[in-house]
Structure 1
Amino acid sequence: MYKQLVAIILASFFILITLAGCQEPPQEKSANTTTGQNDLKPSLKKAVKLVKKRIAARTWSEIIASGHINAVKLDWQLESALPRAGSTGAYHSTLLQGFAQSRGLTVTWHRVSNLAAMFEKLSAFEVDIIPRHLTITENRLAKYSFTYPLLRDKEVVIAKSGKHDFNASAINNLHLPIGSAYIESVVSQYPHWNVNVVKEQVSSQEMADHVAQGLSKYTIIDGFALETLKQYRDDIQSVFTLPKAINLAWAVNLNNDSFLHELNEFISVHHVMQMIEPERTVGFKQLRKDKLPLRVITRNSPETYFLWRGELLGFEYDLMRKFADIHKVKLVIVVADSYEEMLELLAEGKGDIIAAGLSRTKARTKKITKAKLATSIRYNRVKEQLVAHQDGELINELSDLKDRTITIRKSSSFWPTAQKLAKDFGANIVIANEDIATEILIAQVADKEIDLTIADSNLIAIEKTFRSQIITPLTFKENVPYAYLVRQNNPQLLAYLNEFIRKYYRGTFYNVVKNKYFYNERLQKSHKKHRLTSGSILSPYDDIVRSQVQPYHFDWRLIVSQMYQESRFDPLASNATGALGLMQMLPRTAEELGVKDLKDPEQAIASGVQYLDWTRNRFSKDLPVQEQIFFSLASYNAGYGHVKDAQRLARQLGLRSDRWFNHVEKAMLLLQRRQYYNKARFGYVRGREPVNYVRDIHQRYLSYIRITD
């Protein structure tokens, strides 16, 4: 009987998943609405103001009067990659936002699935601009106006890394996405090449994936895009450069001269600023006068700076963003892999401040002074603590460490403490690999893979919200100071930093940020445990969920299971990152989906269902139907980009990239390690969280099926 029940549950599950993957894609939405609004219930549609279709482009005066610029971007740009030099998605979004802010405007983003749809929206006057690296071609010039070129580039043929006998006189197996300017370049320069047109418009990243996987032998991308890809991957290479240079610019409608003039004026200033040498050591007052960005050197970690669901977060990042806002300067983050690299970047003038949770020790101060660097006053205090498993042998005093094993990196600031414990109390010290971050060592203690480690109290506070098994039986040092680092020849910046610390340290803003990252356990109310029986109502929102999932063909019980995981059915739930409501959506993402009030259960559920559908559609073309929901849930939790990184890593490790359990989930866990996330487009991710998220929702969903069937 038990085997029959399990078979019925699994059969039901896969039938439902099959239905989930077979729906028609949503139709294009009406003008002046963002994708997803027409799928909302009638009560929500009333809040959406539809206007008559325009017959001409909005002039600059009309744009100013409206207070916003209508811009379009691709679905895959819903989340930006961790900013890197040349990251095109972040580059255009940031640049247009900068233009809008300089004119007292905001940007309203419209989303489409491909490049052709971008031009359709522009032609229909539904948007004012396409802010994207667009190649200026003769065909496009006949229909649209372009800004001053943002970049002059050359197109390159790329192939899988390795030996290639590329022959420009006879090339086959060249794949190019439909509608791309690359096709026009080939037709005009190499008409004898055999081009295979990919029927879907995909990104340079995805075309590079096709080449790396052997699905295509060659493709063409911009040289700018190639340099970006090469920063974190080594499975592709350039084999040929097309000789004709191309100009890349933004597109607006023909004859919209007033808007074009404003854009060109801004771009001209932007180009002048870009000519500044990247290595500079000017004082802070000169930096502000020349409107140069403040470059903050940090590391990619849960304590300092990371990407979550498309939002840039981190304790150090939030503090530096506040400092930059106060002084009205742009903030640029420079990510380093090690403490030594941070010092080198600062000394060489490739950054202005190090803000990376660095403790100010005697040994470090001596080295810092020798390198002609200076430290700020203390902006944070932490404790240096031992991390142990709650089920391990009791540790009440230092003598209890005899014959216990402490795993620590030699480059860690805790290394001297570990050495003293070995010498004075008989502890065994194991040197951890340098690519294993302290948060990973804490996870290994929680999983009983290692005995003990040492960490600072801030990081331990973060990890305790995820790992209830860890304890801190001993504190070795109290009041360990954290400080910023600057060059000695930049006393102005040091003075402003110290002023910032004196004003905000332990104040309201500082405490809110510190609580956000180190002490907030999602602030969820404790909930009573109800035993569900056959025929039970799963949640107070079952009827709303049933109505919202119909256009998307999700099983309503899956969404209820996810809702419980996100908010425990609390419509006012919020977390430290700013996510709100039953489905814990970020307000910025919800607005792009046409949802305004995340405290309203109906709108909150609508936004969650739409976003899950968006992630599923992004995976639909390259995954078995039964796997789509697992990847979609992982993307909902950690972000689509992180899951794509894990897929690529899985292929490199010989695992299947189209299977979640025991394959891509293993790669996701590895993206917590420096040696892997350094080569990932989206950087560090707390991989254990999406892994547990998918498993928990899946198991609860199967239970819901058993209860309700």
Structure 2
Amino acid sequence: MSDAAVHRLPAQRYRVSLRWVTILLALALLATCQPPVSPMAEIQATGILRVATVNSATTYYLGPAGPTGFEYDLAQAFADQLGVELDMQVVDTRAALTRAVRQGNSHFSVGLTATAALRRDYRLTPGYLDLQPTVVYQADDPTPDDLASLDGKLTVARDDAVTNWLRQAHPTLNFRVDESANAEELLARVAEGDIRATVADARLVQLNQRYYPRLRTAFTLPVTASRTWVFPAREHDALYNRAIAFLAGMRGDAAMTILRDRHFGHAKRLGFVGGQTFARIAEERLDRWRPAFETAAEENGLDWRLLAAVGYQESHWDPEAVSPTGVRGLMMLTEQTAEELGVADRTDPAQSIEGGARYIRDLRERLADGIEEPDRTWTALAAYNLGLGHVLDARELLRQRDRDPDSWINLRDALPWLTQKRYHSQTRYGYARGHEAVTYVGNVRAYYDILLWMTGSPDTEKPESLQREPETSDTAAERALDMNVPAL
């Protein structure tokens, strides 16, 4: 083979390789000329909706049955409508919420307040939950009459709607913005006396007053604020338009009313005095009966804290309690119910707790299959208080009026009807004090929420101000629902 032949073969291979490189470059160039995949197309392809949120009593937290929270349930309903799975991504701060959207880690963020700054940089949905910014102080301090009396004493979380209004409406007011804290942390610090006052939404205050009974509300600020979903500022509109349509449909829908009631309907139930009493009695008595509650709950598929909440509502955990009608024991079983359950001694705490647990389980199992949780539990508790027959009567009254009897919010409306002759005359079991059953369930829900928080359930994060050694002084009870009281 000549030298020319030797060098010609590599040249031919080079020309062939160059042709393929040219083709591949052209294909790559064509690919980059295509518009990027839209969020809606990505969601449909992957089957996953990514939503960013923060841990909060009003947004998202892990409860005994798994993820819950108003914002979580609302986002889950939207994911269900889209027919995809919800991936809830929890971040630490408000800035991280917007960053998750801006960087494309989440399709949108929830739990933010609509502001001019957000509207400038992102696309927002119309508001779906109106807020009431309220000034909050501690019971030991004088009640502030106005903002002027809080000059230099007010600390707020980073919320542009509130901070911008304060700066514009009260330009001379001296207040501090804590960039690293959220509203719940500041409420805890007010309760602990670390700061004098803060501003938080009225619903959040009501929820936290159960844990911090010394929190007080002074007045509401005239600030227009509402929750919004935050989307990136891009040209793709399909997902954004679906979200707007979904929220518009939810705003006046019964589903939104049920959702608000589920998360906020019992927030006002206890108030300060009831919360303090609960804390004091929990410190004195709960550790004594907790093992019995845990054992009975495990055997009957219940959360022991729910069972303990019922026991507190019934007797304040007093095994010697007796009602005027002869109902007695820690779980206040009637003689007939105790006999049916095989409880030989109603005043024996272990027997009473075990009998009460079996009775709640039995009531839950006897309810109609269509009643879902948590409505199933609330309905069973109403039957525990009022009797299953009366609850069935109320459900029948709802059916006659074309209202869903499986919804607790509807049943809560119907139970008081049983006191009215025009209604109870139409029922099988007649008159009943339905108002008491409604109050009963509301109280149990409130006590249950407090016990979840007090016993270190993973559903809430404890502020650093509460992470200290247990108190042994006489002031422990006064500190109300401090996580570290010795009994807990």
Q: After superposition, what is the alpha-carbon deviation per residue over 1:609-635, rounded to whole angstroms, capped at 9, x for unaligned? A: xxxxxxxxxxxxxxxxxxxxxxxxxx9
1:148 and 2:126 correspond: yes
Compared CA separation, residues 185 and 100, structure 1 to 2 (3 A): same
Q: 1:82 to 1:112 in 2, by over 3 A?
A: closer
The answer to whether 1:414 aligns with 2:346 is yes
Deviation at 1:214, TM superposition (A): 2.2
Distance 1:224 1:458, change over 3 A: closer
Q: Deviations over 1:379-403 (max 9, x none)?
A: xx96537xxxxxxxxxxxxxxxxxx
Q: Which amino acid aligns with 2:313?
A: S
1:234 aligns with 2:213: yes
Residue 95 (structure 1) aligned with residue 69 (structure 2): no
Q: Distance in 2 between matches of 1:480 and 1:274?
A: 28
Q: Work out the CA distance in 1 between the residues paired with 2:74 and 2:100.
A: 21
The equivalent of 1:117 in structure 2 is 96
Aligned in 2, Cα 1:248/1:646: closer, same or farther, shift over 3 Å?
closer
Residue 191 of structure 2 is aligned to residue 212 of structure 1: yes
Structure ranking higher in helix proportion: 2
| Equivalent-residue separation in structure 2 for 1:93 and 1:119 (angstroms) | 17
2:81 and 2:250 map into 1 onto residues whose CA distance is 12
Three-state SS of the structure 1 residue aligned to 2:173 is coil
The one-letter code of the counterpart of 1:185 is W
CA distance in 2, matches of 1:185, 1:208: 20
Q: 1:456 aligns with which of 350, 354, 375?
A: 354
| CA pair 483-492 structure 1, distance change in 2 beyond 3 A | farther
Aligned partner of 1:263: which letter?
A
Q: How far 1:647 sits from its partner (Å)?
A: 7.4
Structure 1 equivalent of residue 53 of structure 2: 73
**Aligned counterpart in structure 1 of residue 106 of structure 2, from 104, 107, 127:** 127
Aligned-residue identity in percent: 14
What amino acid is the match of 1:384? V
Q: C-alpha separation between the residues in 2 aligned to 1:118 and 1:98? A: 20
Q: Which runs of 5+ in 2 are unaligned?
A: 1-34, 266-289, 317-330, 365-382, 400-404, 406-452
How big is the shift at 1:140? 1.0
What is the CA-CA distance between 1:119 and the residue it aligns to? 0.8
Contact 2:158 2:179 in 1 (8 A): yes
Matched, 1:384 2:343: yes
Q: Which residue of 2 aligns with 1:225?
A: 204
Shift of the 192–120 alpha-carbon distance from structure 1 to 2, 3 Å rule, reads same
TM-superposed deviation, 1:302: 4.5
Within 5 Å, which residues of 2 pair with 1:244-263?
244-254=223-233, 255-263=235-243
Aligned equivalents of 2:463, 2:295: Cα separation in 1: 21
1:137 to 101, 107, 115: 115
Cα distance, 1:212–1:267 mapped onto 2, change above 3 Å: same
For residues 527-538 of structure 1, the aligned pairs below 5 Å read none
Partner residue in 1 for 2:462: 644
Structure 1 residues 454 and 117, CA, compared in 2 at 3 Å: closer, same or farther? closer
For the Cα contact (< 8 Å) 1:72–1:111, is it kept in 2? yes
Structure 2: which amino acid aligns with 1:149?
Answer: G
Find the partner of 1:338 among 313, 331, 335. 313
Task: Compute the TM-score of the two structures, normalised by the length of structure 1.
Answer: 0.38
Structure 1 residues 172 and 103: CA distance shift in structure 2, 3 A: same
Cα deviation 1:430-487 (Å, max 9, x = unaligned): xxxxxxxx5xxx5xxxxxxxxxx75427969xxxxxxxxxxxxxxxxxx999435342
Q: Distance in 1 between matches of 2:360 and 2:177?
A: 60
CA contact (8 A) 1:58 1:125 kept: no
1:505-654 alignment, distance < 5 Å: 638-639=456-457, 644=462
Matched residue type, 2:126: Y
Which of the numbers 360, 363, 372 marks the counterpart of 1:483?
Answer: 363
Give ranges in structure 1 of 5+ residues lacking alignment. Answer: 1-54, 279-291, 307-312, 319-333, 342-357, 366-380, 386-412, 419-437, 443-452, 461-478, 498-634, 649-656, 692-709
Separation in 2 of the partners of 1:267 and 1:190? 34
For the structure 1 residues 276 and 128, does the alpha-carbon distance in structure 2 shift closer, same or farther, using more than 3 Å as the test?
A: closer
CA deviation profile, 1:15-62 (whole Å, cap 9, x unmatched) = xxxxxxxxxxxxxxxxxxxxxxxxxxxxxxxxxxxxxxxx97943232
Question: How far does residue 260 in structure 1 lie from its aligned partner after superposition?
Answer: 1.9
Task: Describe the shift of the 1:304–1:145 C-alpha distance in structure 2 as closer, same or farther (beyond 3 A).
Answer: farther
Structure 1 residues 64 and 150: CA distance shift in structure 2, 3 A: same
How far did 1:142 drift?
0.5
Residues 230 and 58 of structure 1: is their aligned pair in 2 closer, same or farther, counting only changes over 3 Å?
farther
Instruction: State the partner residue of 1:3.
Output: none
Q: What is aligned with 1:269?
A: 249
Superposition map of 1:194-209 within 5 A: 194-200=174-180, 202-209=181-188
Q: CA RMSD in A?
A: 5.3
CA distance in 1 between partners of 2:248 and 2:396 (Å): 32
- CA shift, 1:96, in A, is 0.8
Q: Deviations over 1:405-445 (max 9, x none)?
A: xxxxxxxx814xx6xxxxxxxxxxxxxxxxxxx5xxx5xxx
Give the Å deviation of 1:305.
Answer: 8.2
Question: What amino acid sits opposite 2:354 in the alignment?
Answer: D
CA distance in 2, matches of 1:481, 1:237: 38
C-alpha displacement at 1:102, in angstroms? 2.6
**1:274–1:151 distance in 2 versus 1, CA, 3 Å:** farther
| Equivalent position SS for 1:456 | helix
CA distance change for structure 1 residues 79 and 60 in 2, over 3 Å: closer, same or farther? closer
Q: 2-side partners of 1:57 and 1:181: how far apart? A: 34
- The reply to whether residue 176 of structure 1 matches residue 156 of structure 2 is yes
CA contact (8 A) 1:359 1:483 kept: no
One-letter code aligned to 2:469: R
Q: CA deviation at 1:129?
A: 1.2
Q: Distance in 1 between matches of 2:296 and 2:125?
A: 37
Alpha-carbon distance in structure 2 between the residues aligned to 1:303 and 1:58: 52
For 2:72 and 2:360, the matched residues in 1 are separated by: 39
- Deviation at residue 206 of structure 1 after TM alignment: 1.1
Q: How many residues align?
A: 323
The separation in 2 between residues aligned to 1:79 and 1:303, in whole angstroms, is: 29
2:39 aligned to 59, 81, 86, which one?
Answer: 59
* Mapped partners of 1:257, 1:645: distance in 2: 39
**Does the Cα contact within 8 Å between 2:125 and 2:228 map onto a contact in 1?**
yes
1:659 aligns with 2:469: yes
> Cα offset for 1:211?
1.4
Cα separation, 1, equivalents of 2:337 and 2:231: 54
1:681 Cα deviation (Å)?
Answer: 10
Deviation at 1:165, TM superposition (A): 3.9
Deviation, 1:93, is: 0.9
Determine the C-alpha separation between the residues in 1 that align with 2:300 and 2:249: 31
Secondary structure of 2:184's counterpart equals helix
Q: CA 1:197–1:107 in structure 2 vs 1: closer, same or farther (change >3 Å)? A: same
Q: Corresponding residue for 2:301?
A: 315
User: By how many angstroms is 1:188 displaced?
Assistant: 2.5
Larger radius of gyration: 2
Say whether the 8 Å CA contact 1:360–1:480 is kept in structure 2.
no
**CA 1:228/1:262 → structure 2, altered by over 3 Å: closer, same or farther?**
same
For 2:252, what is the secondary structure of its paired residue?
A: helix
Q: 1:154 to 1:277 in 2, by over 3 A?
A: closer
